[in-house]
Chain A
Amino acid sequence: METNNQRLLHTFAALADLGQEIANTADFEEMLRSSFHLLLGSVAIRRGAVAQYDRQGDTLRVISARGLEQTPDTEIPIAREHARELASPGASLTLADASAEATRFMEEHQNLFASAEIQLLLPLVVHERLIGVVLLGEKASGEKFTAEDVETLSALARHIAVGINSHHLLGEVKRKAEENRRLYDGLRTIYKETVRAFAAAIDMKDRYTQGHSVRVGKYSEVIAREMGWGEDEVEGITIAGYLHDIGKLIVDLSVINSPERFSAKDSAEMNKHPAAGYEILAPISHPYADIPLMARYHHERIDGAGYPDGLKGDQIPAGAKIVTLADSFDAMTTDRPYRKKLPLEDVLMDFRANTGTQFDPAVVCAFCRAFLNEIEGRKERRLLNLLNRNYEDVEAVTPLLNQMLTEFDGGAMAATTGH
Chain B
Amino acid sequence: METTGATPVQARCVGDTAIIYASDYLNKLTGERIERECKNQLEAGRQAVVINFRDTELVNSIGVSILMGVIDAAEQSHARLIFCDVNTQSASLFEMLGLTKHVRIAADESEALSWIEPELNASATAM
A41's partner among B61, B71, B72 (CB-CB below 8 A) is B61
Knowing A67-B69, A140-B68 touch, does A43 contact B97 (C-beta < 8 A)? yes
Tell me the complex Cα distance, A419–B69, Å: 71
Tell me the complex Cα distance, A40–B31, Å: 14
Tell me the complex Cα distance, A40–B28, Å: 13
Contacts of A139 in B (CB 8 A): 97-98
Give the residue among B62, B63, B96, B101 with the most A Cβ atoms within 10 A. Answer: B62
A6's partner among B60, B61, B66, B96 (CB-CB below 8 A) is B96
Contacts of A66 in B (CB 8 A): 65, 68-69
In the complex, B106 has a CB within 8 A of chain A: no
In the complex, B64 has a CB within 8 A of chain A: yes
In the complex, A34 has a CB within 8 A of chain B: yes
Tell me the complex Cα distance, A39–B61, Å: 7
Contact pattern, A 24-56, Cβ under 8 Å of B = 1, otherwise 0 = 000000000010011111111111000000000
Contact pattern, B 84-104, Cβ under 8 Å of A = 1, otherwise 0 = 000000001100111101100
B98 A41 Cβ-Cβ under 8 A: no
Contact pattern, A 44-83, Cβ under 8 Å of B = 1, otherwise 0 = 1111000000000000000000110000000000000000
Query: Within the complex, what minimum Cβ distance (angstroms) separates B63 from chain A?
Result: 7
Knowing A17-B61, A38-B61, A67-B72 touch, does A10 contact B101 (C-beta < 8 A)? no
A140 B96 Cβ-Cβ under 8 A: no
B62's partner among A37, A140, A143 (CB-CB below 8 A) is A37
In the complex, A141 has a CB within 8 A of chain B: yes
Tell me the complex Cα distance, A3–B93, Å: 9
A7's partner among B60, B71, B72, B96 (CB-CB below 8 A) is B96
Q: Which residue of chain A is the closest to B64 with respect to CB atoms?
A: A41
In the complex, A240 has a CB within 8 A of chain B: no
| Main DSSP-derived SS at the B contact region | helix
A140 B61 Cβ-Cβ under 8 A: no
B60's partner among A13, A43, A44, A45 (CB-CB below 8 A) is A13
B68 A40 Cβ-Cβ under 8 A: yes
A6 B92 Cβ-Cβ under 8 A: yes
Q: How large is the interface on B (under 10, 10 to 19, 20 to 34, 35 or more residues)?
A: 20 to 34
In the complex, A223 has a CB within 8 A of chain B: no
> Which residues of chain B from 21 to 76 have any CB-CB distance to chain A below 8 Å in the complex?
27-28, 60-66, 68-69, 71-72
Chain A residues proximal to chain B, CB less than 8 Å = 2-3, 6-7, 10, 13-14, 17, 34, 37-47, 66-67, 139-143
Tell me the complex Cα distance, A86–B105, Å: 41
Chain B residues proximal to chain A, CB less than 8 Å = 27-28, 60-66, 68-69, 71-72, 92-93, 96-99, 101-102
Contacts of A46 in B (CB 8 A): 68, 71-72
Could you jot down 24 A-B contacts, CB within 8 Å?
A: A2-B92, A6-B93, A6-B96, A7-B96, A10-B93, A10-B97, A13-B60, A17-B27, A34-B28, A34-B62, A38-B62, A40-B65, A41-B61, A41-B65, A41-B68, A42-B61, A44-B64, A67-B68, A67-B69, A140-B68, A140-B101, A141-B101, A142-B98, A142-B101
Q: Which residue of chain A is the closest to B99 with respect to CB atoms?
A: A140
Q: Which residue of chain A is the closest to B32 with respect to CB atoms?
A: A37
A44 B72 Cβ-Cβ under 8 A: no
A44's partner among B27, B28, B92, B99 (CB-CB below 8 A) is B99
A140 B60 Cβ-Cβ under 8 A: no
B98's partner among A14, A40, A44 (CB-CB below 8 A) is A44
Tell me the complex Cα distance, A351–B93, Å: 87
Query: Within the complex, what minimum Cβ distance (angstroms) separates A189 from chain B?
Result: 48
Tell me the complex Cα distance, A99–B71, Å: 34
A140's partner among B63, B92, B98 (CB-CB below 8 A) is B98
* Extra 9 A-B pairs, beta carbons < 8 Å, given A38-B61, A40-B64, A44-B98: A6-B92, A17-B61, A37-B61, A38-B62, A41-B65, A41-B66, A67-B68, A139-B98, A140-B101
A17 B96 Cβ-Cβ under 8 A: no
A37's partner among B28, B72, B97 (CB-CB below 8 A) is B28
B68 A3 Cβ-Cβ under 8 A: no
Contacts of A37 in B (CB 8 A): 28, 61-62, 65-66
Q: Which residue of chain B is the closest to A138 with respect to CB atoms?
A: B98
Tell me the complex Cα distance, A45–B63, Å: 12
Contacts of B102 in A (CB 8 A): 140
Tell me the complex Cα distance, A143–B60, Å: 21
Tell me the complex Cα distance, A34–B27, Å: 10
Knowing A13-B60, A34-B28, A67-B72 touch, does A141 contact B65 (C-beta < 8 A)? no
B65's partner among A3, A7, A13, A38 (CB-CB below 8 A) is A38
Contacts of B93 in A (CB 8 A): 6, 10
Query: Within the complex, what minimum Cβ distance (angstroms) separates B98 from chain A?
Result: 3
